[in-house]
Amino acid sequence: MMLIFCSLPAIAQGADSNSRPIERAITAADFEAIREPRIFYGLASYYNNIDYYLTDAQHVEKLPLDQELSLPANHWFVAIGRFNALAVRGEGVVVTPSQSQPVMDLSTGVKSDSVLVKALPRQELEQLSPELGQLRYVHLWSVFSVLAKTAEAALVFIQKNMVDSWGLAILVFAVLMKILLLPVAILTVKAQRKVSHIQAQLAPKLAEIKANYDGEEAHNRLMEAHKSLNVTPFYALTPMMATLVQIPILIAVFNALGEMPQFVGEPFLWISDLAYPDSVGTLPLLIPMLGDSISLLPVLMTAVTVLATILFQDRLATEQEVKRQKRNLYLMGIAFFILFYPFPAAMVLYWTSVNILQIFQQRVIKI
C-alpha cells in the first residue's frame, strides 16, 4: 500500500503533492506539524487543540476523539490546528482521532491503490479539494463563517493595496469598521439618550411609589407610571438591542484575527509577533486565566477603557444613573482585561484601536 505524504516544511520549500511515496501509517510526529507550537492560557486555550472532521461535498461532521473510523469513499479525514491542517483521503483507511497519539492504520480494508496525505496551511484547503473549503472557520455558525472570511479578505486587501505592515492593516481595518458601523452607533446613542430622558422623568415617581406603597398596589402604580410615558418596564433594553447587531461582526473579526497565518512572525512597534501575545517578560508563576507572560497591550487597552469611562457623559441622565453607567463600564474594562490578556496581539491591537476610536466618536456624536 502506497502512502503519499507531504510535510509542512516541504510545502514551504515548494514541494508539490506528489512527494516521495512512503510505506507507513501516519504517526503522532506527523501531527506535530499542525499542532500550535506555543501554549495559550485562559479563554484562549482552545488554540492548543486539534479538531477532527469527516467531510465530503455535502456534509461536514466533527469527529469524537479515540473512536476508530474507516474512511468512506470520496471522503476526507482532516485534522485541523490553529493555522495548519492535515488532510487524509483513502477508502477503507482506519483512523483514530486523538489529542495525543492520532494514528492511521493501512493494514486492512484499504481498497484504493494509494492514500493521499497532505499537510498544508488551513487557508489552502480549498485549493487541495473544493469541498475542503467548508472547513475554513468550520467551528463557527455559517453566517459567522461567511463574515470571518469577509473580514480576512478585507484585511488581506488592505495589506496588499494600502499599507505594507500587517499592524497598520489592522489599524486601517479598525477605522473602516468604525465607519461601517457608524449608523448602528448613532442609533445606539439615540436609544440611550431616549432611555436616559425617560429615566429622568420616571425617577421621582418611582422613588415616591417605593417610599409610600408596597405589594400589589406598588406594582400597579409602577406599571401606571410607565404607561403614562408610553413605555414598558423593559424600555431600558432598547440600546442593548442595537448593540447586539454588532456581536456577529465582532465574533467574526476576532476569529479572523486569531487564525490568520499571515500574522505569524510579523512585528509591529514593540510587538515581536502579531500572532501571539505581546510578551515583554515572564512572570515567576502561572496566573490562572492570564498565563505567565507580561503583556503591555492588554494594559494599554484597559487604560483606554478607563479614560473613555472618565470622559463618558450623558447630559440627559441623572447623576445617579451616570454613576451606575460608569461603574458598569469600569467592570466591563476589568472583564475585557481578563478576557483578552492571553489572546494574540492582533486581536488586542484591534480592540484597543476600536476603543480609542470610540473616545473620539463619543466626543463627535452629540444627539
Whether the CB-CB separation of 48 and 27 falls below 8 Å is answered with no
pLDDT value at residue 7: 36
Q: What one-character-per-residue DSSP string does 100-139 give?
A: S--EEE-SSS--SSEEEEEEEEGGGHHHH-GGGGGGTTTT
Angle, vertex CA 256, rays to CA 36 and CA 263, nearest 5: 60
Q: Which three three-digit cell numbers place residue 4? A: 503519499
Distance between CA 260 and CA 274 in Å, rounded?
Answer: 10
DSSP for 178-204 reads HHHTHHHHHHHHHHHHHHHHHHHHHHH
* Rounded Cα distance, 25 and 71, in Å: 14
Q: How far apart are CA 287 and CA 289, in angstroms?
A: 6
Chain position carrying cell 487524509: 88
Task: Give the residue among 121, 40, 44 at the shortest CA–CA distance from 80.
Answer: 121
Res 34: pLDDT: 85
Nearest to 343 by CA among 285, 259, 284: 259
309 Cβ partners below 8 Å, 6+ apart? 326, 329, 330, 333
Q: Are 256 and 144 in contact (CB under 8 A)?
A: no
pLDDT per residue rounded down to tens, the chain (367 residues) = 333 333 343 333 333 433 333 334 566 666 777 889 899 999 999 999 999 999 998 899 999 988 888 888 889 999 999 999 988 888 888 888 887 766 666 665 565 566 888 888 888 999 999 999 999 999 999 999 999 999 999 999 999 999 999 999 999 999 999 999 988 888 888 888 888 888 888 888 888 888 888 888 888 888 888 888 888 888 777 777 767 888 899 999 999 999 999 999 999 999 999 999 999 999 899 998 899 999 999 999 999 988 888 877 766 666 777 788 788 888 888 999 999 999 999 999 999 999 999 888 877 765 5
Q: Give the integer Cα–Cα distance in Å for 129 and 127.
A: 5
Residue among 248, 277, 288, 293 nearest 347 (CA) = 277
C-alpha cell at 29: 510526529
Full-model pTM:
0.84
Q: Give the integer Cα–Cα distance in Å for 86 and 125.
A: 9
Rg (CA), the chain: 26
Collapse the DSSP code of 165 into the 3-class scheme (helix H, G, I; strand E, B; otherwise coil) and give the result: coil
DSSP string computed for 235-269 = GGGHHHHHHHTTHHHHHHHHHHHHH-GGGTT--BT
Residue-level pLDDT at 18:
38
Residue 269 C-alpha from the chain's centroid: 23
pLDDT score for 4: 36
Residue 235 backbone class (left: φ over 0; alpha: ψ -120 to 50; beta: rest) = alpha
- pLDDT at residue number 78: 93
